[in-house]
Structures are given as structure tokens and as C-alpha cells.
């Protein structure tokens, strides 16, 4: 195991870290949210916000493994802060001379993949990382590395806001304008929370709303503002033979197909309705104020548009459509659309079927 060197400005770096008064603090939901998003973006089973103290790596938030801190000498993040302007990616720690015999690689939690985006203070000092890791070798596409770096900057925004709040609490009695400062802090925090909420409702790869956002929209779409039923249809769309694309052309090509389909769906539903990624290669479409026949025609036009996507190879979709029935739970409407989708696939794929 190769122990990480300490930065030349280590004393200055530690002074900056301690000014945040964050080490050994309690869990906070905003940090938990950012770690959740980072784990989803990278597709890993573990992620953390870590801070590098003098002799230890301390976890402000960690998911996928039960630990509060590690010796700094055994930390991968201790290496990551030595190159503060880049995301350090280790695709397979067993093949890296620095980490092949590291305790967290050969023992629990058996880390193989690691990616760490340094947390950089306003003074340009690396304080720790937002990192993702997994027990299986992994790759991190450039756009996901950029997303991880963007999230690390959001962690620093939260840390700055947190320090700002602590400073206000400490000095509010001696500042005549503390009410204005508190109001400014409140506005910034609300904006930050709104941004986090938006990220938690959006699929990172396609840019579409995710399943959670669609469930909320569907519940709102089946009734008007006075609670009266609205004519609403729901469709489930599945990419035909998507596993073959991943198996024979690679997951990067599969991701490109998903991203192109996401762009098409955003354009198709920009004016009315909504499209969301439901999971894997499946998407859900919400068509409010639309009868079943019109919804079927719209979905058939969409099916033909997918076949014309400039991907360099044929891609088709199967679609199941259901009209919401007054009094039914929205989950039941989704189930009926799913049954229609199953019939479309059983009948040969590349077709639209409606629920009875």
C-alpha cells in the first residue's frame, strides 16, 4: 500500500478545513441528498462526502457502507486531493499499485472502483472529496465525471452556507443587520433545496423526469382543480431488444440510444403532456385531456419517429396505452398500460396496443 503524500500547503489546508466547524458534526439531509444523487449518477453501490483531517478521513455522509472514519494513510481520497482540479478515477483498485493491497480493497468493503471529485474551498484548498465507489470494477464516462465534479461544487456551496449560518448565530447579537443576513441566507438555502429537489426528480442520462416525478404528475392529471375527473391516458414505452444493443454494441451505445430517445420525447411532449424514464429501457407517457383513440394515434406517430432516429442502426419500440378510469388508483392505470405493452411485445414488437 502506498500512503498518500501530504500537500505542500497542508497546514494552511487544515486551518481552512477546521474553520468550517464541520468535523464530527451530526448528519444533515442536504449532504445525504447530494450523496444519493452522486450514487445514482455514477451507478455505484456506495458514495460519500469525506473530509481529510490531519490523520484521518472522516465521513460527513456515507451510503452503502457502515463507517464513520478511516485512517488517512488507507484513504483513496487522500490521494485524490493531491490533484484538486480533476476527478480521480480508479477503474480497478486491484490493478493499481497504490491500492492493490489496501485494507479497504483486500478487506471490507472490498473496493474495486473509485472516483473522487475534490471539494475545493473558496481559497482553492482541497478539503476532501465527493466520492463514489463499488465492489466491482467500473468505468466512469466523461459526462458522468463532469456531473460528479458539478455535484462536488454543490457540496462546497452547502458547506459555505453552513459556515455562513454558524457565523450568523455567533455574531447575531452584535450585528445590527442580522435580520437581513438571515433573510439572505434563507433565500439562498431555499434556492439550493429547490435545485436539489429538481435533481432528485430528474433522470441524469436522459434529462427526463424520473418515476417519482411522473407519479406526482399522474396523480395531479387525473382530476381538475375542483376535483372533477379528467380524461387522461397513460402509455408505457419499451425499447425492443435493448439487451442485444448493450450486449453486442456496448453499454455506451445503449446509453446513447436512451439519451437520443430522451431528446425525442422531450421534443414530442414539450407543449402538452409529459414523458418520464420509468426504469431501464422503459418510459412512461402522460397524455392529459386525451381520449384513448387519439392517444393511440399519438403513440403510433411516436413509434414511427423512433424508427427514424439517426442512430446508425435500427431501433424500434413497443407501446401499451390505457385510459384512466374514474375511481381507479393511478397504479391500476399503469398496470393496464403495462399489460397492453406486454401484448404489443408478444405480438411481434414495434407496435402499439391499447388496454380494454
DSSP states along 165-220: HHHHHHHGGG-TTHHHHHHHHHHHHHHHHHHHHHHHTB-TTT-SB-HHHHHHHHHH
- Residues 131 and 120: their CA atoms lie apart, in Å, by 14
Which single residue is written with the C-alpha cell 403532456?
273
CA distance 341 to 355: 9
Which strand (E) or helix (H) includes residue 297? helix 292-307
Q: Identify the active-site residue in 141, 281, 282, 335.
A: 281
All residues at 6 or more sequence positions from 341 whose CB lies less than 8 Å from its CB, including other chains: 236, 237, 238, 318, 319, 320, 353
Known catalytic residue: 174? Answer: no
Phi-psi region of 61 (alpha: psi -120 to 50; beta: other; left: phi over 0): beta
Question: Left, alpha or beta for 238 (phi > 0: left; psi -120 to 50: alpha)?
Answer: beta
What is residue 27's DSSP assignment?
P
Residue 205 neighbours by CB distance under 10 Å: 20
Residue 300: which residues within 8 A CB-CB, separation 6 or more? Answer: 319, 352
Residues ≥6 apart with Cβ < 8 Å to 219: 330
Give the active site residues: 281
Amino acid at each position: 500500500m502506498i500512503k498518500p503524500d501530504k500537500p505542500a500547503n497542508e497546514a494552511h489546508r487544515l486551518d481552512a478545513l477546521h474553520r468550517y466547524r464541520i468535523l464530527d458534526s451530526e448528519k444533515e439531509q442536504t449532504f445525504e441528498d447530494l450523496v444519493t444523487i452522486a450514487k445514482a449518477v455514477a451507478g455505484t453501490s456506495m458514495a460519500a462526502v469525506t473530509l481529510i483531517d490531519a490523520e484521518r478521513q472522516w465521513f460527513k455522509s456515507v451510503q452503502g457502507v457502515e463507517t464513520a472514519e478511516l485512517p488517512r494513510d488507507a484513504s483513496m481520497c487522500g490521494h485524490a486531493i493531491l490533484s484538486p482540479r480533476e476527478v480521480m478515477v480508479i477503474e480497478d483498485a486491484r490493478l493499481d499499485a497504490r491500492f492493490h493491497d489496501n485494507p479497504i480493497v483486500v478487506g471490507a468493503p472490498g473496493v474495486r472502483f473509485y472516483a473522487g471529485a475534490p471539494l475545493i474551498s473558496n481559497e482553492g484548498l482541497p478539503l476532501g472529496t465527493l466520492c463514489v465507489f463499488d465492489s466491482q470494477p467500473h468505468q466512469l464516462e466523461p459526462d458522468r465525471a463532469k456531473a460528479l465534479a458539478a455535484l462536488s461544487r454543490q457540496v462546497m456551496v452547502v458547506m459555505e452556507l453552513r459556515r455562513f449560518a454558524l457565523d450568523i448565530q455567533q455574531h447575531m447579537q452584535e450585528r445590527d443587520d442580522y435580520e437581513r443576513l438571515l433573510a439572505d441566507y434563507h433565500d439562498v438555502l431555499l434556492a439550493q433545496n429547490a435545485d436539489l429537489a429538481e435533481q432528485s426528480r430528474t433522470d441524469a442520462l436522459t434529462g427526463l423526469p424520473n418515476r417519482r416525478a411522473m407519479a406526482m404528475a399522474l396523480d395531479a392529471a387525473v382530476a381538475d382543480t375542483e376535483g372533477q375527473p379528467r380524461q387522461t391516458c397513460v402509455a408505457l414505452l419499451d425499447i425492443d431488444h435493448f439487451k442485444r444493443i448493450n450486449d453486442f454494441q456496448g453499454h455506451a451505445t445503449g446509453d446513447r440510444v436512451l439519451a437520443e430517445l430522451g431528446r425525442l420525447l422531450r421534443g414530442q411532449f414539450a407543449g402538452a403532456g409529459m414523458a418520464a424514464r420509468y426504469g431501464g429501457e422503459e418510459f412512461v407517457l402522460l397524455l392529459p385531456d386525451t381520449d384513448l383513440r387519439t392517444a393511440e394515434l399519438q403513440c403510433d406517430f411516436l413509434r414511427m419517429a423512433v424508427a427514424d432516429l439517426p442512430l446508425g442502426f435500427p431501433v424500434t419500440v413497443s407501446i401499451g396505452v390505457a385510459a384512466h378510469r374514474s375511481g381507479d388508483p393511478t397504479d391500476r392505470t399503469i398496470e393496464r398500460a403495462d399489460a397492453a405493452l406486454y401484448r404489443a411485445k408478444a405480438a411481434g414488437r414495434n407496435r402499439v396496443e391499447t388496454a380494454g
